[in-house]
Amino acid sequence: MDFWNTLRLALRALARNKLRSSLTMLGIIIGVGAVIAVVSIGQGANELIQEGIQNMGTNVVYIAAGSRRPGGLHMGYGAVKTLTMDDLRAITREVPMIKEAAPGVTSRAQVVYQNQNWNTQVFGTTANYFPIRKWVVMAGTVFSDEEVEAAANVCVIGTTVSRYLFGEEDPIGKQIRIRNLPFRVIGLLESKGQSVMGTDQDDQIIAPYTTVQRKLAGVTWLQMILASAVSPDASIAAMQPITALLRERHRIRQGDEDDFFVRTQSEMADMAAQTQLVMTILLVSVASVSLLVGGIGIMNIMLVSVTERTREIGVRMAVGATETDVQLQFLVEAVTLSMMGGLVGIVVGIGLSFLISNLLTWPTVLSTQAIVLAAFFSVGVGVFFGFYPARKAAQLDPIEALRYE
Amino acid sequence: MGDQALPTMDTPHKQAQDECVIRLDGVHKYYHLGDFQVHALRGITLEVCAGEFVAVMGASGSGKSTLMNIIGCLDKPSRGSYFLDGVDVSQMEKTELARLRNRKLGFVFQQFNLLSRTSALENVELPTIYAGITPQERESRAKAALERVGLAQRAHHYPSQLSGGQQQRVAIARALVNRPAILLADEPTGNLDSRTSVEIMDIFQQLNTEEGLTVVIVTHEHDIAQYAKRALEFRDGKLRRDTVIKDRLFACDVLPTLPTLEDEDADDEMTAPPPEAD
């Protein structure tokens, strides 16, 4: 029996039990649809994160005080006092891949303007921090080197802080009180929105690090150094010399832990992508379970169908159908079922990801790879789960089958 | 049985009138039912020549169904050999047997065994699908076969829209469509009323006489066997009597004497739930 005949036969057999066929297909539809939707959400999230990381400034080498060793006594971020301004100067001087660097020291503080108050992070740094992190000042200006030198009470505020303290009012030139010290607002940052980690990047005040160190945090060390390398590749190449330099400066003996850690933006991008991949794999495997269940559904229905059509199989065999003919007939039926389910599932998956991006405003990116994979997978499910029922049909004894009631 | 100077069938397996289409040689068949061994056939030796019309008779359990299954290439003898059309088929593979059933044998069953929700024409076409013929050829052959049994105008009816006699005629057309050497009918009239039974026998007699088709029917009704030329009686797995039918009936003579139903095609002869075959 030729292929077109077999296919025609399969379609007719499926059309005979429309409700049953559609319900059987539903398992595959949901499975394929879920896989495609989930992958598109994952891809969308990944692009968002990559964009966010780009937004934080490329070429950035991030040096933070503290150990990254898991377990043991973890000296967290900011609890280590060895990272200083001298380290920063040494890095810019001695590591050739580093173009410039900005210090970072933070303190949380209550901020008051007239009858409004807000608790936020005050980040102390130097003027070159803004270009390194790609912060743009929307209004006003950033502080000068002189103001840093003099530990002046000036600050640049994020849009969130501005909204809570000033509402619609123009914040530039206004006097606010940070932990009861008067500061003059000299600049307003352009909004960056949420960071990759989900924190509001606009909810902060940036002031000269000298001011934060002496007047707010009461420390002499730094919590971090943000260095800018000449290129993304250089940022990774710089990690090793920076580590060596700081170990030497901090007099860390061979074999002992670093009391700082160095990260690059591209490394973080990789890590984020990795995390995203793990998440996607996890979600896809959950969605695949539904494909598996769909496949079992197909097998179940095919077994029922073989039993129901025992007589038909007997007649076909009596008039000359070979085992191969019968096997092929039922296999093609199962594959047709799963393939049709797969095609509808692809449409549902695409529709679902459009709905998600339009209604929930989540970014989704359709993955051709996932669609092709899902299509192949649905055919595979049909072959795998259709094989046994088809085999059972083919191995029926024609005499028994003809007698079957 | 060279009493007929009629043309043989138009098939690639043209047979001389006196040549054996069926030859069984010491055929035994055992079945294992748990610990029991059923000896269904105990050494059957038998010849059926081209153009014969044989009625196989016997009570339930006499082995006649087993014999039919072996002749029909649905089963293999446990011992002995079976030559179909001169070829020893007793130890053939399943696939080869399927080909033989397709090309050389036509089956008619007691319960008609038409595929439901499939038109008469498509039911008749079924064997041609497995014969590897072009779709056009398939359709023209199926139409010709339906015409042969007088149902050309019912080609697009479903079995449920046909009477029992009509269904059996569709089944006969299906059996004829690949131009077989032998027509095997297992209790073909078992589910039909007496008039319809005679009509079916009429078709068999016509096919036998006009086209020289070898017909083997299994029946337990003596009056049906009277339409054949030769009767084989089985009991306990053995062939007990092999007789030429005396006072053979001819359906074309009997039919006018039977009370006519108002409309032969009326749906009043509904198919009764079929009794157990054999």
Does any domain span residue B115?
A: yes
State residue B99's pLDDT score: 93
Q: Can you give the residue range of the structural domain that contains B198? A: 51-76+93-249
> Any chain A CB within 8 A of the CB of B76?
no
- Show residues of chain A in contact with B115, CB under 8 Å: 312, 315
Q: How many CB atoms lie within 10 A of CB B220?
A: 17
State residue A327's pLDDT score: 95
Q: Taking residues B34-44, what's their average pLDDT?
A: 89
> How far away is chain B from the Cα of A389, in angstroms, using its nearest Cα?
19
Is residue B81 helix, strand or coil? strand
Give the Cα separation of A26 and A297 in Å (integer).
9
Share of chain B above pLDDT 70, in %: 87
E strand residue ranges, A128-229 = 137-140, 154-157, 175-178, 181-189, 204-208, 224-229
Does any domain span residue B275?
A: no
> How far away is chain A from the Cα of B36, in angstroms, using its nearest Cα?
19
Task: Kindly tell me if the per-residue pLDDT of A266 is higher than 80.
Answer: no
For chain A, the average pLDDT equals: 88
| Type of residue found at B242 | D
What residues are paired with A118 via a beta bridge? A111
Give the Cα separation of A287 and A279 in Å (integer).
12
Query: Residue B149 belongs to a domain with what CATH number?
Result: 3.40.50.300
Task: Note the pLDDT tens digit of each residue in A220-243.
Answer: 889 999 998 888 788 888 888 999
- Pick B117's closest partner by Cβ from A16, A321, A402: A16
Give the Cα separation of B124 and A81 in Å (integer).
94
Q: Taking residues A389-402, what's their average pLDDT?
A: 94
> Can you say whether residue A124 is alpha, beta or left, with left for phi > 0 and alpha for psi between -120 and 50 degrees?
beta
Task: Kindly tell me if the per-residue pLDDT of B174 is higher than 90.
Answer: yes
Q: Taking residues B224-236, what's their average pLDDT?
A: 94
Is residue A60 helix, strand or coil? strand
Q: In Å, what is the CA distance from A105 to each residue of A27, A79, A100, A229, B58?
A: 55, 12, 17, 21, 107
Six-digit token pair at B47? 């010849």
Asked if B144 and B82 touch (Cβ cutoff 8 Å), the reply is no
Nearest CA in chain B to A402: B113
Does any domain span residue B164?
A: yes
Q: How many CB atoms lie within 10 A of CB B5?
A: 6
Q: Which of A247-256, B160-169, B181-190 has the lowest average pLDDT?
A: A247-256
Provide ipTM, 2 decimals: 0.85
pTM here? 0.73
DSSP B255: G
Angle of helix A18-55 relative to helix A265-308, nearest 10 degrees, comes to: 180
The three-state DSSP-derived secondary structure of A281-295 is: HHHHHHHHHHHHHHH
Q: How confident is the model at residue A291 (pLDDT cuts 50, 70, 90)?
A: confident
| Type of residue found at A130 | F
Inter-chain residue contact A320 with B69, CB threshold 8 Å = no
DSSP A70: S
Q: How confident is the model at residue A79 (pLDDT cuts 50, 70, 90)?
A: low
Helix (H) or strand (E) holding B138: helix B135-148
Is residue A375 helix, strand or coil? helix
State residue A69's pLDDT score: 52
Q: How many domains does chain B have?
A: 1
Asked if B22 and B48 touch (Cβ cutoff 8 Å), the reply is yes
Nearest alpha-carbon partner for A126 in A105, A96, A95: A105
Does any domain span residue B160?
A: yes
